[in-house]
Structure 1
Amino acid sequence: MRNAAHRIVQQVSRKGLPALMLAASALSVSAQDAAEDGIIQQQTQFAPGVVTVIPGDASPSETFDGPLALQRFIQSHPELEWDPTKFENGRPHFDPRSRTLIEMAKQVVLRREIYCLEFAFKPLRQIYVDVPLAGGQTQRKLIWYMVYRVRYTGKDLRPAADEIGGAKMYSRIENVSYESRRFFPLATLKDQVSGREYLDRLIPSAKPVIAARERITAPLYNSVEVFNQRIPLTQDEDSPGVWGVLTWMDVAPDIDFLSLYVSGLTNAFEQDGEGKDAPYRRKMLQLNFFRPGDAMNQTADSIRFGMPPYSNEQEHAYILDKYNVEELRNYRWVFRSVK
């Protein structure tokens, strides 16, 4: 099953036009799936070519947590419980038990605003760069990179309170927008076969080389520099947004099926249970790619967005298993632990 993605190219070489037509059909299906996923292909004047636009994703269910069980808190503060020996029948005289401090605390719901930035990207590519080493020497390294754009389109979600009977009742969600947001990226490439992960690295010598190759006319920021950039509110399709570059080094040359996880686009999160030891997961954008190639002449390989479609049932099941999805997906939003 190794290097299954490469078989499309092999079929075209061996079988000629019929295989080429089959490959074209597969690509058209992938394009159709992209349209169904809400993906937009967009021309931009700040970088020649087309960028793939992933719209923001914010859900009303992400604006609250609770009610809270408070198990550890109650165990740590037994003095807050009612002492049944001090009350007739073990209950308060005038208030129901639901009005005790502990019972009211169990009904607490934590609410928050949720935002999500729009993420657009150019193809995932490779380039050779001279990387400085200790002692003033340099080494020629193969760098994987992605040029991207982030924009803030507003429409954040916020719990709205209506006062009923003197009490605030949160029964609806409203939209709110601000002048700007910030982006704190953390990008990880994952080999879906071996499980190896590669965290975005700062490679100062690579940025000018990449900017020249991609002909970026807007300022280009690495993953630290972009922290300081305010992403202004915009609903204009021609807005430049903020442009950045992600870079990776020492990626395995035999990688075939991979995903890019980008966190920082939204503040949504999930937590199992309560307390500092409870698993905490951030909401991330998962972009899926496949690379029909091998370890030789890697820069000539095209890294394709999406998952490779196969008519063979066994190979199709293999692909779904490696990407941990139930159907072919170009991208999805997932909650994932940060390692």
Structure 2
Amino acid sequence: MERFGTLSFGHYGPLGGGRVLTARDMLHQAIDLGVGMDELGVDGIYFRVHHFARQQASPMPLLAAIAARTSRIEVGTGVIDMRYENPLYLAEEAAAVDLISDGRLALGVSRGSPESVIRGYETFGYTGSQDPRGADIARAHFDTFLQAIQGKGLAERDPSSPFGGGTGMQGIEPHSPGLRSRVWWGAGNRDSAEWAGRMGVNLMSSTLLTEADGTPFDVLQAQQIEAFRAAWRESGHRGTPRVSVSRSIFPITTAEDAMYFGRTGEGDQIGVIDGIRSTFGKTYAAEPDALVQQLLADEAIRSADTLMLTIPSQLGVEFNLRVVESFAKYVAPALGWNPDGERDDTPARVTAR
């Protein structure tokens, strides 16, 4: 494990006891958390994106705000639902955030996760899907997005324009040359992981897989990672792609930790999501020494270079910073993380498409 960071869903709403976490609270707390983690030396802060829900939905302003107040931490998404996106507008926004952050954007995208509404992307204006879950729209948007961030000319210049239109084709602006190497695809199964490898983008794998054959979750995920890397190599892409996995991990170091998480440690779960039998990864909650041994036995964590800790954002900045600090101090070094070590930040080199 070379890097670790946090993954937040950005939940807000009633907290009980008459307390309410507002959208404003959530956003400001996310910025403060990013600043605190940057000071701790944590490698990344990432946000889930959900529409029509009391969760983070517009990540670019938030990532830009965190980038402007930090100096080293990676800012990113895990993941943006491409069914909802204008790919060219996303390309402009992503390039702007990447430039503001001096190349610290890790842009995770995918088809997206199950929604609280029916085909919500159609309400955003993206219709005509032939797939019940809109995967064809997501892939088409992603293809256009990749062309845009690679600098391909997409609109014909107007030679009569008073603004220096010229001739030929014009790409989107701003353009961030290194952004292409910092794009990740969130894959929920081996097929989508292999597709990401063929496309030459990095891999994000979360706490669920749309596969369920009785194989332990970490083994399934390690197989998914290997399939991704094999597809990358077979496609002739150069360089080494990055791979992240996310986990619910809570070092228990105080009575408060034990109160919240002491009974949450559980095994893998099988359930149905989006109509598909799926495997959900376990929650890890234990004292640091025991936690280290459990995580060292996790095949996918051993295989990935980046670990994302899912955090309970509703518990506030101070609590979450303490959880992250405990992980950094008592657990992460035993998994290979060195807060002062060199990171391989050489971007993967991919075949232009």
TM-score normalised according to structure 1 size: 0.27
Q: By percentage of residues, which structure has more strand?
A: 1
TM-score normalised according to structure 2 size: 0.26
